[in-house]
Amino acid sequence: MGLFSKLSDSLSKTRKGFVEKLFDSFTGKEIDDDLYDELEELLIQGDVGVNTAVDLVERLREREKRDKLKYAEQLKDALVEEIAEIMGDEVASFDLDKDNLNIILVVGVNGVGKTTSIGKIANLLKSEGHKVILGAGDTFRAAAAEQLKVWGDRVGCDVISHQEGADPAAVVFDAIAAAKSRKCNVLIVDTAGRLQNKSNLMNELSKMRKVIDREAPGCLKEVLLVLDATTGQNAISQAKIFGDATGVTGVVLTKLDGTAKGGVVIGIRSEFDLPVKLIGTGEAIDNMEYFDAKAFGKALFSDEESLKDKAEEIIEDIKEEVAEKVEELKEEVAELKQDAAEFKANAKVEMAELKQEVQAEAANLKANVKEEVQELKEDVEEFIADVQDDIADLMDAPQADDLEDAEETVEEKPRKKGFFSGLFGGRK
């Protein structure tokens, strides 16, 4: 799911409550003071803050005169444009150095989801390739360190902690030392959320910052204020108090999906010029997103057109998934082709080797047959010569005087005939 889809889902309660009432106020009405009074009241009810509501109404009055607007419906578009101008169009991010230590202080009252947010931020930064370690600087609240350790285990981050009631500055000192020795490039430090004693809060954070400046000069990159979107106007009050006390650089807005008071983002941006850095869009560990002001405005004031855009985004997501699958299939086909080519080459080599072996065997067999034929030829020739000699001896032998020798010659002839038969009988 893309960021717009998540935001649209998270802001559904705000859209059905605040935004729908706001837009209904423009329907079938004329532009007059009553309309402006109604708009101002609805904006305040939408938790954008009193000052922001007054400012927006004044902007609309100026737009009416400048653009010569006549119909209330025209003010609707003008309001959306003015809010978009307040929010800006930047996409939030952290400017973190992967080769050096970066420190993020997280402040906020108890119960706003501070510890949970730290865990989700750690998970987000780890997914970006950062090595993260956590510092349990809230030594005031019971079990705060244990809760942070649970999140550390879930995310896979070490947690540096002291006993309850310890000096938070000492925790920061040890956490910095641990981050350096373990080669972590991001240290996220939890802090106590004591608003009932502003001076103690300021002193405590001042000590922590002094330790950071001494032990890791230039490493403090963010002071993030965690606010609960469900508190509405209280969130704006907290932004003012913590902003004055701690030098907040950005806001983390939690529980945006569970409230109809999403308009508080507009008030925070307008009154304190504080950028919303991160927003919680659900309960899952990966439901922490960098804030996209343009996407927020689009999701907050979504109508049929924006729903169309959402559908188009879903289609694009599907197209991307299909494209990824096609690429995977292409890679598999390429691997199969390579395997086939290798098999063909190996088969060619094996066939050539087999051919050589057959040729060698045939040559050996031919040589052996030739040798045996030659031997046979020599035996036959020898036999023929012997027969010829025997015949000559018979022809020369006396017929009457030496009958005994003649008989011996006749008897010997069959023996030689037997030799001849044996010779040829063994060769087929």
Residue 46 has which token pair? 């939408």
Nearest CA to 216 out of 249, 179, 161 is that of: 179
Give, for 215, the enclosing helix (H) or strand (E): helix 198-215
- The CA angle 332-335-341, to the nearest 5 degrees, is 145
Nearest CA to 266 out of 59, 34, 28, 24 is that of: 59
Express each pLDDT in 231-285 by its tens digit: 766 777 777 777 766 778 888 988 776 554 567 778 777 777 778 889 887 788 9
248: which residues sit within 8 A by CB, 6+ positions away? 107, 223, 224, 225, 239, 242, 274
CA dist 113 to 95, 198, 256, 390, Å? 24, 20, 12, 127
pLDDT of residue 169: 93
Question: Which own/partner pairs from 79-83 qualify as long-range (CB within 8 Å, at least 24 positions apart)?
Answer: 79/22, 79/39, 80/297, 80/301, 82/56, 83/56, 83/266, 83/297, 83/301
Express each pLDDT in 203-216 by its tens digit: 888 889 899 999 99
pLDDT of residue 307: 45
Q: Is 133 helix (H, G, I), strand (E, B) or coil?
A: strand
Nearest CA to 60 out of 46, 87, 88, 40 is that of: 40
Residues of the chain with pLDDT under 50: 1-4, 260, 304-308, 311, 400, 416-417, 419-420, 423-424, 426-428
- Which residues partner with 134 through β-bridges? 159, 188
The pLDDT > 70 percentage for the chain reads: 79
Residue 237 has which token pair? 């009050």
CA–CA separation, 35 and 41 (whole Å):
10
